[in-house]
Chains A and B, each alone.
Chain A
Amino acid sequence: MVLELDYDRSLLGKDHRAGPIEVTKELIQDFCKAIGETNPIYTDEEEARKAGYPTVIAPPTLCTIFLRRVIIPDIRLNFGKARFHAGQVVEPIAPIMAGDSLMASSYLKEVYPKTGRSGTMVFIVWATTFTNQRGETVAEVQESYAARE
């Protein structure tokens, strides 16, 4: 039997934005402290310059903490009650640096069912692009949420 998914298809590809999001040295330091990161290119200006950066840069997944700045709507999926964070993809494109001002743009990328040993689940995938103050794309992120029967 083919599962007929009902959800708000008008959301597919529609942009939801947030920003500007200021990336400060302090924020990078606090993030590093919280995850135990000690590489000095993230916390020490001189070491960052020695590595060829103008200032300290952010660890590669820091942008994920900004994802919830984007208010994403309920897609009104007619399937399952339990939802959980099923997976995530991060693609750093260019360094995010202290002093950057980011914009985040998210859209509903796809909604699809998958049947496995534990039954059918429906995956909801949101894609987010982060750009800096020069309009350069610095990171692409995809979040997958699963709805279970």
Chain B
Amino acid sequence: MAHGQIEYYEDVELGHEIGPLEEDISDESVVDFCEVTGATMPNRFTDAEIAQRVRLSGPIVPGIMSMAIMARLLTDWSPKGVLKHFDVVFRQPVPHTSVSISALVTDKREESGEYLVECDVYLSNEESGRMIGGRAIISLPSRG
């Protein structure tokens, strides 16, 4: 396993910190993402003028793109784990900028034969603080 990754449920402790994953979300990466989704462009995610028309200070990152990058932190951390649940609250729009994604293990339990780890996940940066907060549940293999 690569540094910082975990393989088994037994290796995870409460309070374990995951990340941070530092990500530079550029104009180009948002355009690439919008192309994959088939979204009509330009739109509020790619164009400053359109964004301002809907009272945003500039183009923002699509919520589903932020969520996908946040999920990446978890899949990077536990390549053999399976994400079972992921909910997020978009607290404020995320501009095209550098962000930091981190998570904290808040619970672990055996439930219906599955070994589950629960964590709080955040996307933030120094300027805006926590822009997205979420909660994830991951099923991990057990050493039995």
Inter-chain contact A65/B83, CB cutoff 8 Å: no
B67 within 8 A of A: yes
The chain A residue with its CB closest to the CB of B80 is A51
A34 and B65 within 8 A (CB) = yes
User: Interface of chain A, helix or strand or loop or mixed?
Assistant: mixed
Bound Cα distance A84, B90 (Å):
9
Q: Which of B12-20, B28-36, B107-115, B117-125 contacts A (4 or more CB under 8 A)?
A: B28-36
Other-chain residue from A33, A86, A87 in contact with B32 (beta carbon distance below 8 A) = A33
Within 8 A of A (CB), among B55-101: 55, 63-65, 67-69, 71-72, 75-76, 79-80, 82-90, 93
Q: Determine if B10 is an interface residue (Cβ-Cβ < 8 Å).
A: no
- Taking the closest CB of chain B, its distance from the CB of A39, in whole angstroms, is 6
Question: In the complex, are the beta carbons of B33 and A64 less than 8 A apart?
Answer: no
A89 CB-CB contact with B under 8 Å: yes
Separation of A90 and B137 alpha carbons in the complex (Å): 11
* Residues in chain B near residue A27, CB distance under 8 A: 36
Q: Nearest residue in A to B132 (C-beta to C-beta)?
A: A87
Total B residues in contact with A, Cβ cutoff 8 Å: 32
A82 contacts the other chain (CB 8 A): yes
Residues of A in contact, count (CB < 8 Å): 29
Instruction: Report A146 CB to chain B, min CB distance, Å.
Output: 9
CB distance from B24 to the nearest CB of A (A): 10
The contact of A59 among B38, B68, B88, by CB within 8 Å, is B68
* Cα-based distance from A90 to B33 in the complex (angstroms): 18
- Shortest beta-carbon distance, A7 to chain B, in Å? 22
A125 to B87, CA, bound (A): 13
**Which of B29, B72, B93 has its CB near the most chain A CB atoms (within 10 A)?**
B72
Contact with A along B20-54 (1 / 0, CB 8 A): 00010000010011011111000000000000000
| Contact indicator B79/A61 (Cβ below 8 Å) | no
A111 at the interface (CB under 8 A from B): no
Contacts of A39 in B (CB 8 A): 75-76, 79
Which residues from A are CB-within-8-Å of B32? 30, 33-34
Taking a contact as CB atoms under 8 Å apart, the answer to whether A60 and B79 are in contact is no
A34 and B36 in contact, given A59-B68, A91-B85, A92-B82 (Cβ under 8 angstroms)? yes
Known: A37-B68, A61-B86, A88-B63. 16 other contacts (CB 8 A): A34-B32, A34-B36, A37-B75, A39-B79, A51-B80, A59-B71, A60-B71, A61-B71, A64-B64, A68-B39, A87-B89, A89-B87, A89-B88, A90-B83, A91-B84, A92-B83
